[in-house]
Structure formats: C-alpha cells, structure tokens
Chain A
Amino acid sequence: MTLGLREILNKHNSLISGTAACPGCPENMAMRMLGMGLGKDTVVVVVAGCSSIIQGNAPYNSYNLPVVNIAFAAGPAAASGLARAYKQKGKDVNVVVWAGDGGTADIGFASLSGAAERNEDIIYVCVDNEAYMNSGGQRSGSTPLGAITSTTPEGKKENKKNLPFLMVSHNVPYVATASVGYPHDYIQKLKRAKEIDGFRYIHVLTPDPYGWLFDPSRTAEIAKLAVQTCYWPLFEYYNGKITVSQECLHCLDKRTRRPIKDFLSVQGRFKRVKEDDIAKLEKYIDDMWEKIKELM
C-alpha cells in the first residue's frame, strides 16, 4: 500500500493553526500525521510532556481531536479504561496514548508494560526526542550514548534503551518504528495499526532542534539522516516477524550503511563525542541490526 500525497492531505486535520510548539517542532509534525493516519474517530491520551504544552492554553486548543491530558505514569492505564468503556458502549474508537520518551522509557514504563501484557485495545505512540525536552533537555533512558544534555554535560555514558525491542519482547500484536522524516511510512503504519486489534506500539523518532542543537529548518532532514545512517531503523513487527521498510534496506548489510558521523556531525549535542564513543555507537547499531535480521 503506497499513498499519494493528495490522499494524505485529504485526511482528518488533527492539528489546527496556532499551536504553542517551537518552530520546527517534530512532535507537531507527528501529531498532524496522526490524524492523517487514523482519521477522526480517535481519542488521544496525552501524557505530560511537550505535547501537553503544544496544544495551547485552555480554553484554546490546537488539537482537533478529543484529548485527555494526564500525569506522567498514567497514560496506558487511563487509555485502558477509556477503550474498555467504549467497547461496552458499542463504539468504535481508536484510543491513542501519546507520550514522549520520558513518559515511555522511564516514569511510565510500568503502566506501558502492564497495558501491553494485558493486550489492551489501544495504540501507544511514543514521540522520541531523546531527552526530557519539556523541562529543558535533561537525559532520559532514551538518550543515546555521547549526547550532551543538561544533566549529562559531559555526554551520556550509557546506550539508548531500546524500547521497540522491549515491546517486541512483550509479544504484542503490532510494533512499528517510524520517523517524521518519512511521513508516508509513518502514516501507512498508523493505518495498519488501526486495522489490528489489541495492543499496538509505534515509536516515532522526533528530532528536536532545541535539544539536539541544529537549525529548526532542518528537522525533516535530520530525521531522514537518522534513518539513512541506520541509527534509527524503520520496521514493522507483526505475526511474529519484522519487516524492514525500503528506506533502510541498505542497513541490512554493514558495507552499505552510511557512516554514523554524518548523523552526529550535524548536531550540537554530539560535539564532545570521542572516537571510542563513536565506536560504541557503531557497535550499538551493528547489534541492533543483527537482532532485526534474526527476527526477519
């Protein structure tokens, strides 16, 4: 299934003008695409983070969908309650949890894992900007090794927690990764998720100009670079198998991968990265692709 641009633009507009996002905000982009993928029978549970602010101050509201804003660790549980209530009322609603990497990898992980284990009929979207951007850019469990954040001024010492794999280990019906640099791919995945019952997890890389330190005009380009350098894979996991998107087929063979330096050098947050850190990052990428190949 490949969508043309016109088809995408005709879909439900989940974002109306005047959001409170920073210029070049990747979460804004991801939210717009959510409506394009799922249409308007959607309820979004927004977990504390940039997306709680982007919608604007009450009584104004720039998300053109019903929204339940909620505290950090409560998203998947609240969505479970909503989804079951709609089922009881005989309503067909896509219940979406919309959370950042902090809410997903760290403080909210128990409730995410619980909802996945119960196979709740919800779609969980993690918008991953790789740090706690809403509180000023502190490290999260999803921050990559070597990245400077306000709580790791010397560069993070540990690798990124690999959430998509963790969700694959939960044996849920559907897990996918996406990047705001590839809207077609992301929207197709949303559409596929919509057709599946049970717990669905979509992890979207959302490069943040203010935490990653690049010019806001380059968000989409950096989001693409992450995929081209194989730092961020694009895949779908369902029926017990991983399918890799065509945008990163070249990553399956180490020899055809674009060097990771191309991705690191365009961002200020990696300016202190040392050669041995780059080697560690390369190893992280190699290991990740080996695992992906095992599951293909």
Chain B
Amino acid sequence: MIRKIISGNEAVATAVKLARVGLTGIYPITPQTSIIEKLAEMKAQGEIQTEIVRVESEHSAMAATYGAALAGIRAFTATASQGLLYMHEMVWWVAGSRVPVVMVVGTRAVGAPWNIWNEHTDFTSERDSGWIMAFASNPQEALDLTIQAFRISEDERVFLPVMVGMDGFILSHTKTNVLIPDQEQIDDYLPPRRQPYVIDPEDPVEIGNMFPPEGYMKLRESIHLALKNSEDIIRQHGREYNKKVSPMIDYSTLNSSYRLEDADYAVVLMGAWAGDAMEAIDVLREKGIKIGMLRVRYLRPWSEKEIRENLEGKKGVLVLDRSTSFGRGGPLYIEVKSTIRDTEVKDIVTGLGGVTVGKSDMIYLFSKFVEGIKEDVTWYYPKEVGKLDVRTPRDIE
C-alpha cells in the first residue's frame, strides 16, 4: 500500500485499474471528465489493459458498457448531471437485465438553467432504477467503494449494477491523501468476474425480449428482492475489504455515524459535507448540546434496520438534503421520515447548484433545529446567497 495525494477522480481511475476492468465506455462531462482522461492516459502509457471506447454520447457510453458486460468482461463507465439523465434509459435497461456493471457519478446540478456545480439531484433521481447506490464522502471512500462495487455487483446473490456517487468538484477535483492498495491485495479481494449469463454463440440465449405481464412483474420483484437482500452482502464484502485491503474506514455497516450513540439529536446527510457537519457537531457538543450524525453511505439498499437502530428514540432528527423532490422535500428526508416512527423529522434543503454550506451554517442550522423549527421542510440560503436578486416568473408577473 502506498500513500499518494490525488483527486477523487484520480482515485476512481485508480480503482478501475486495480479492478482490472476489461472495457470502459467514455464520454466527457463535467465534473467527471478527468476520470476518463486519466484512464485514457494510463492506457496510452500501457499501465492498464482496459479497452476504451470513445463513444459519441452518454447514452452510448452506457450501451457500450452494457454490451461488453453481456459478453462477459468487467465493464465500467462514469458520468454526471445531464449525462446521467441522457443515459437514464440505459441505466434502467442494465438493471432490468440483471447484469453486473459499475458506474461512478460525479454529482452535479441539473439544468435548466445551466449550472455545473455540485448537488445530488442527478444521483438521487435514479433511485428507482434498480441500481445499488453508494455515496462517498472523501476520495479514499470513492476508491474503496468503487472496488467494493465490483465485488457486490458480481456477487451471485446480487447480480445488479452498482453506482457510486461522489460530490462534483468537492471530491472529484480536490486532492487529498489517499491510501492506494496493492494489486495483489485487490486480486485477493476481487475474484474473476461472475455473471448470470453470457451472450455467446456457443450457448445461445436471448435477452430483453418481449415479456408477458406476469413474467415482467416477477422480474421486477426479483430486482426488489435482490436489492433488499444485498444489505447483508454489502456488509459482508465491506468486512472482507477491511480485512484484506484496508482497515482504515469501517465498511461493516451501510451508513457511518459520528458521536451518535449518546446523542439526543441526530443529523442525517450524505456525501462530502459530512466533514463540516462533524466539526459543527464538535462545537455544539462543547456548548453542551448532545448532537450526532448519521451519514448515509448507501441510498439503495436503504437499510431500515440501521436507520431505526441509530435514530429511533432521539428527541429529533434533522435531515440535510442536497437535492429535492419538488413539492415534497428532499429525497433523504422522505426516506428517513418513512422509516422511523415516534421521532420528529425536519428537513433542510440547501447546497443546491453549488451553494456553499459550511461549518458556520451548520452550527446555525443545528442550533436552530434544537431550539425547535416549525417548518417541516425549509429551504436554507447562506447569507450572501440570500441577498442575490433572482427574478422568478412569479416576480415578473
């Protein structure tokens, strides 16, 4: 194992190399682009064997990745924002085919209007597609989760595609210390690819043809069950990763917690801003406010068990959502609220389109929450943003 200062995107490219991926479908989109550039560079220098298909769109990137996976080789692609939306059709097609594939999403706002900065809406809007969905909170996790994603995806009890989210720019472009496993460690952890069926003239099978209603519904249920059951399998592969590769980050659970055990209040969030939240929690703890954090690492499967164990019995739960389901609240909030009973759950939607929400904002929000906020869902703007004069159709009227 070596330590290197690299960006989140480079960490992902390194994971792809270590996983001995056979084919990568590539198409550039900000902020994911440097993953594929790095892969192309490694290929040009002969450091990796992976076949690179430079396709003409994200829709084709996912299709080419799917084709390679069907033929029996390990396949990877990465995307973001409009790109993920453009491949949406194929995202469903891959899950519906129950074929192992791994994708990284460098999360970013979705237009209109144009905005290249970070939020989670692109990622969360795929939550019904049948993919397992992990979310990293630092470049190290981006690397670890990408490698684990192959292991999980190719587990015969799962056979579902896995996507790994990573905050655009905040992780994708920020360089930090990353522990890079040795190839032997990964070879030991990640066995050769397994998949449910291979498309091959020697053993002709047909995939994706017209299905009668009852059969179709049964397949849908099989995806549902595989996703639900993947919970324990993810923990199992996480523990194995800790044992065989690195014990640094605990992967034995689907979610990660911070000072939660003795806490009266809990904050729930996903992604890179967990770092700011932890600092804010430390400050509030010093003031005598007993607050802790639960960071969602897997949006799918959603571990009801872990969420209940960690959150039920608290005086209140505050969810921080970096995306929204319009007219309702943040997707994380909806999930948490439908999981725990007898506990008050409030939602803050903030940080959309790259709005910076830092430690001081979190100290403010968390204390407000402990004091008792009335609204179930609040849209929060840090001071500078609140001042910006933006006219919406309603103002123009």
Contacts and interface: CB of A to CB of B under 8 A. Distances in A.
Interface of A: 40-43, 45-46, 52-53, 55-59, 61, 63-71, 73-86, 88-89, 91, 93, 110-111, 113-114, 117-118
B23 A85 contact: yes
B57 A114 contact: yes
Given A77-B64, A85-B51, 16 more contacts: A57-B211, A64-B204, A65-B204, A67-B208, A69-B209, A73-B63, A77-B55, A77-B63, A80-B67, A81-B63, A81-B75, A82-B71, A85-B72, A88-B22, A88-B51, A110-B56
B73 interface: yes
B27 to A, nearest CB: 10
B63 A78 contact: yes
Among A45, A81, A91, A113, chain B packs the most CB atoms within 10 A around the CB of A81
A62 to B, nearest CB: 10
Nearest to B203: A66
A220 B203 CA distance: 34
B98 to A, nearest CB: 14
Contacts of B203: 66
A53 B63 contact: no
Among A58, A69, A77, A118, chain B packs the most CB atoms within 10 A around the CB of A77
A111 B57 contact: yes
A93 B203 CA distance: 13
B73 A74 contact: no
Given A71-B90, A74-B93, A84 B53 contact: yes
B208 A69 contact: yes
A89 B73 contact: yes
A58 B53 contact: no
A109 to B, nearest CB: 10
A75 B59 CA distance: 11
A81 B25 contact: yes
Interface in B87-105: 89-90, 93
A77 B25 CA distance: 9
Interface string B347-388: 000000000000000000000000000000000000000000
A175 B64 CA distance: 23
A86 B71 CA distance: 7
B67 A66 contact: no
Given A68-B207, A89-B71, A81 B57 contact: no
Contacts of A118: 53-55
B255 interface: no
A114 B68 contact: no
A86 B23 CA distance: 11
- Main secondary structure, interface of B, reads mixed
Nearest to B61: A77
Contacts of B12: none
A217 B193 CA distance: 50
Contacts of A66: 199-201, 203-206
Interface string B44-69: 00000001011111011111111111
A63 B206 CA distance: 9
A91 B199 CA distance: 12
A67 B215 CA distance: 19
A111 B54 contact: no
B210 interface: yes
A69 B206 contact: yes
B70 interface: yes
Contacts of A84: 23, 51, 53, 68
A40 B203 CA distance: 11
Nearest to A91: B200
Given A64-B204, A77-B64, A81-B65, A88 B73 contact: yes
Nearest to A87: B51
Contact of B60 (A40, A46, A53, A77): A77
25 contacts: A46-B209, A55-B206, A55-B210, A61-B206, A65-B201, A66-B201, A67-B209, A68-B208, A69-B209, A70-B208, A74-B89, A74-B90, A77-B60, A78-B63, A78-B64, A78-B66, A78-B67, A81-B71, A83-B67, A84-B53, A88-B22, A111-B55, A114-B56, A114-B57, A118-B55
B56 A111 contact: yes
A202 B55 CA distance: 22
B75 to A, nearest CB: 7
Contact of A70 (B63, B72, B205, B215): B63
